[in-house]
Chains A and B, each alone.
Chain A
């Protein structure tokens, strides 16, 4: 970068070396210019930014460095490409994607099972949209499970997250969503899809840092064809960090269901009633360590209590209001299980579903 030092011709007095710093105060000297030059500089800057944004979009589309986003894209692609209906549909966040094994469900209940769990940021809104989309294409499944981590319930969905679903804000699958016409939500979705420099800046900055450090990230192998994510080894360091963070933040969490999640729950229940199949909301697994903390336990129980009360009001079912707790040897963080833990969690889930479906209140599946 070259700097044209102001000369006497520019009206600037050149000072002997050192004197500039010694005594005088700086002033603003505006260089002579023309409107054409101003336009050239400004438009060039904008053009370069647009070009860089285009390159970033292309690069992010190909590489998808954000693991969470990749999972969402994969799951939505699985749903879009699904040619045959399934019997058990597993929705919700990544705790379910990694904690509920469709193979076990298939063994117990027969038919086919598919795990479409994405990430917590998508909230229950994504589950409701996925189920809506599924029912439109394939009719009612025999049952749907929505596995959610406790801290998702107070959150609203952002446009940035919702944009990952590939749905437009006015897509039929989101017609029930009260905020689908919200300009702020639409703006965020627009930014996410069109201004990647802004919406995925963290991924881009991290990628540049990694490139400088010549560090390569080992990508996960992705989910199995049935959507289940297998993780064999526990991660105690991650668990420790997570436990610390959870204990620190529980006090800041509101013990309530966000408006978005409440609307999504209502829509899930509406689909259940309309098409005659049960939708089970499932409380995600959790590390036994966090629940040993009395303060955390109180905050946690308040949130789950709110979910339970809302489901009761809607006539829905919450499985595991008393959470399934797991030791550190079976967890990769505070609410994600290893394969071994997932087998246990899914087995318990099957028992609970069987109990519910054998009971008098079991709903018989119907065609749309």
Chain B
């Protein structure tokens, strides 16, 4: 927060002159590179290099009318981005997997496992760069006028390491003109930051002890303990990731920027496709626009639609990390989407469902999501099978400590989200009357001070 306060003070000071927004942009760019270089200064070199390459290629694409040349430049841009990402993120994974696959055939592959550190947030900014070049290619987006503007779009520090994956079409216009910080934006920004920290430090980091205990000791936990552990993980990953997004969006709002929503009450989803329009929305939309549609989307035969869904979701899973459990998680969700599509062909959804039916759908989809989280969090196939087969209602001595913790940290979230779902307004607590709002925000602050985790763990999505 100290870093942000310094950056913010400078940002406000620079914004006083009429052309101050240009100075603000440079200031934010410097701050973003400082922020990123704080992890490892070499990351900045990589970020700067890929930014320069994509900026140049996009301009070249825009400058030519020759379709073949345009396509070749697009392929070059995408290949460059994916090669760099692939090398840093997937080299060891594929090298090891190939060696393991050949092992039963008694082919001993002599491979070198490189000590490669994955630069934080690389998956996020690579996708931003690809979407920018692709949009220029599709004539949806004009290339950025200034390299520094584009560099700021790629590296904007609130969203650099874990999204949301903002499109250039939404961000570049904001960079290219003065930002207005209204009382509404400032108020909503502060609230989002507070709510984001509450979700991360109070809910996620406190419940993590439960989910970690169950997942790390999965062989010795059974019945209700396993269920609680999985549900706790569902809450942890949601509060961790959406908490980060809220903080990022709140910080951006304080500076007058608007970043897209990334979470729309995902555990209120009623179907697999509904889930993906609520969970990590900017990634889902990216995969839809640049992968699924490129594969033909829905405008192909029914069989190919299923193929496209599976490819998109498997690659979406792989995007999360170089491990087979993420591939399995993506495949599982792809399968759910395919089954749901086939099901709705035979049994179209009821037009005006009653509350009971809606509750049933939400409960079913939540259970299916929980199964997915086991794939996501597990370290091996054995763990997945063991955990899913040990789900039950049997209790143990540990249940007495797990259950109250899950209830204590989970219930407040459910209550707030039920209000949000009923009113379709994610900022509904901001609509409370002043005294109630003061009480609510003071409670959040008090909880942060009293029971917020002291040694906060890194955000889960930083690793992706």
Partner of A31 from the list B268, B430, B451 (CB cut-off 8 Å) is B430
Given contacts A25-B277, A30-B187, A38-B190, A20 and B424 within 8 Å (CB-CB): yes
Say how far A2's CB is from chain B's closest CB, in angstroms: 5
Q: From A111-119, A172-180, A198-206, give the one contacting chain B.
A: A198-206
- Is there a chain A Cβ closer than 8 Å to B423's Cβ? yes
- Is there a chain A Cβ closer than 8 Å to B186's Cβ? yes
For residue A12, which residues in chain B have a CB less than 8 angstroms away from its CB?
A: 423-425
For the complex, what is the distance from the CA of A164 to the CA of B439, rounded to whole Å? 33
- Interface pair B442/A3, CB less than 8 Å apart: no
For the complex, what is the distance from the CA of A25 to the CA of B269, rounded to whole Å? 9
- Is there a chain A Cβ closer than 8 Å to B355's Cβ? yes
- Interface pair B439/A31, CB less than 8 Å apart: no
For residue B190, which residues in chain A have a CB less than 8 angstroms away from its CB?
A: 38, 42
For residue B420, which residues in chain A have a CB less than 8 angstroms away from its CB?
A: 26
- Interface pair A21/B431, CB less than 8 Å apart: no
- Interface pair A41/B436, CB less than 8 Å apart: no
- Is there a chain B Cβ closer than 8 Å to A219's Cβ? no
For the complex, what is the distance from the CA of A42 to the CA of B438, rounded to whole Å? 8
- Chain B: CB-nearest residue to A40: B434
For the complex, what is the distance from the CA of A136 to the CA of B437, rounded to whole Å? 55
Partner of B424 from the list A26, A33, A41, A198 (CB cut-off 8 Å) is A26
For residue B427, which residues in chain A have a CB less than 8 angstroms away from its CB?
A: 28-31
- Interface pair A205/B187, CB less than 8 Å apart: no
- Interface pair B431/A4, CB less than 8 Å apart: yes
- Interface pair A31/B431, CB less than 8 Å apart: yes
For residue B187, which residues in chain A have a CB less than 8 angstroms away from its CB?
A: 30-31, 33, 37-38, 41
Most buried by B among A28, A33, A34, A40: A28
For residue A33, which residues in chain B have a CB less than 8 angstroms away from its CB?
A: 183-184, 187
For the complex, what is the distance from the CA of A28 to the CA of B429, rounded to whole Å? 11
- Chain A: CB-nearest residue to B268: A21
- Interface pair A22/B353, CB less than 8 Å apart: yes
B422-448 to A contact mask, C-beta < 8 Å, 1/0? 111111111111101111111001100
Most buried by B among A12, A15, A31: A31
Most buried by A among B270, B437, B441: B437
- Chain B: CB-nearest residue to A204: B450
For the complex, what is the distance from the CA of A40 to the CA of B441, rounded to whole Å? 12
- Is there a chain B Cβ closer than 8 Å to A211's Cβ? no
Which residues of A25-53 are within 8 A (CB) of B?
25-35, 37-38, 40-42, 44-45, 48-49, 52
Say how far B253's CB is from chain A's closest CB, in angstroms: 9
- Chain A: CB-nearest residue to B274: A25
- Interface pair B421/A26, CB less than 8 Å apart: yes
- Chain A: CB-nearest residue to B184: A30
- Chain B: CB-nearest residue to A12: B425
- Interface pair B432/A1, CB less than 8 Å apart: yes
Partner of B445 from the list A40, A49, A204 (CB cut-off 8 Å) is A49
Given contacts A1-B439, A30-B185, A33-B187, A18 and B446 within 8 Å (CB-CB): no
- Interface pair B355/A205, CB less than 8 Å apart: no
- Is there a chain A Cβ closer than 8 Å to B278's Cβ? yes
**How many of chain B's residues have a CB under 8 angstroms from any CB in A?**
48
- Interface pair B421/A45, CB less than 8 Å apart: no
A1-16 to B contact mask, C-beta < 8 Å, 1/0? 1111110001010010
- Is there a chain B Cβ closer than 8 Å to A252's Cβ? no
Say how far A299's CB is from chain B's closest CB, in angstroms: 23
For residue B183, which residues in chain A have a CB less than 8 angstroms away from its CB?
A: 33-35, 37-38
Partner of A21 from the list B264, B421, B446 (CB cut-off 8 Å) is B421
- Chain A: CB-nearest residue to B444: A45
Given contacts A6-B423, A20-B422, A45 and B438 within 8 Å (CB-CB): yes
- Interface pair A3/B419, CB less than 8 Å apart: yes
Say how far A106's CB is from chain B's closest CB, in angstroms: 44
- Is there a chain B Cβ closer than 8 Å to A197's Cβ? yes
Partner of A25 from the list B188, B264, B449 (CB cut-off 8 Å) is B264
For residue B352, which residues in chain A have a CB less than 8 angstroms away from its CB?
A: 18-19, 22
- Is there a chain B Cβ closer than 8 Å to A24's Cβ? yes
For residue A217, which residues in chain B have a CB less than 8 angstroms away from its CB?
A: none
Given contacts A20-B421, A28-B427, A41-B441, A205 and B450 within 8 Å (CB-CB): yes
Say how far A42's CB is from chain B's closest CB, in angstroms: 7
B330-341 to A contact mask, C-beta < 8 Å, 1/0? 000000000000
For the complex, what is the distance from the CA of A170 to the CA of B355, rounded to whole Å? 66
For residue A19, which residues in chain B have a CB less than 8 angstroms away from its CB?
A: 352
Partner of A201 from the list B268, B433, B450 (CB cut-off 8 Å) is B450
For the complex, what is the distance from the CA of A30 to the CA of B191, rounded to whole Å? 10
- Chain A: CB-nearest residue to B186: A38
- Is there a chain A Cβ closer than 8 Å to B354's Cβ? yes
For the complex, what is the distance from the CA of A49 to the CA of B423, rounded to whole Å? 30
- Sample of 19 more A-B contacts, CB < 8 Å, known A30-B184, A49-B446: A2-B433, A3-B436, A4-B431, A18-B358, A20-B421, A22-B353, A24-B424, A25-B264, A25-B277, A26-B264, A26-B265, A26-B424, A26-B425, A26-B426, A28-B425, A35-B183, A38-B183, A40-B434, A42-B190
Query: Can you list 19 A-B pairs with a CB-CB distance of less than 8 A?
Result: A4-B431, A21-B270, A24-B424, A25-B264, A26-B426, A28-B188, A28-B261, A29-B427, A30-B184, A30-B427, A31-B187, A32-B184, A37-B183, A38-B186, A38-B190, A40-B434, A41-B438, A52-B446, A197-B449
A residues with CB within 8 A of B: 1-6, 10, 12, 15, 17-22, 24-35, 37-38, 40-42, 44-45, 48-49, 52, 195, 197-198, 201, 204-205
- Give 3 closest A-B pairs by Cβ, nearest first: A201-B450, A44-B438, A1-B436
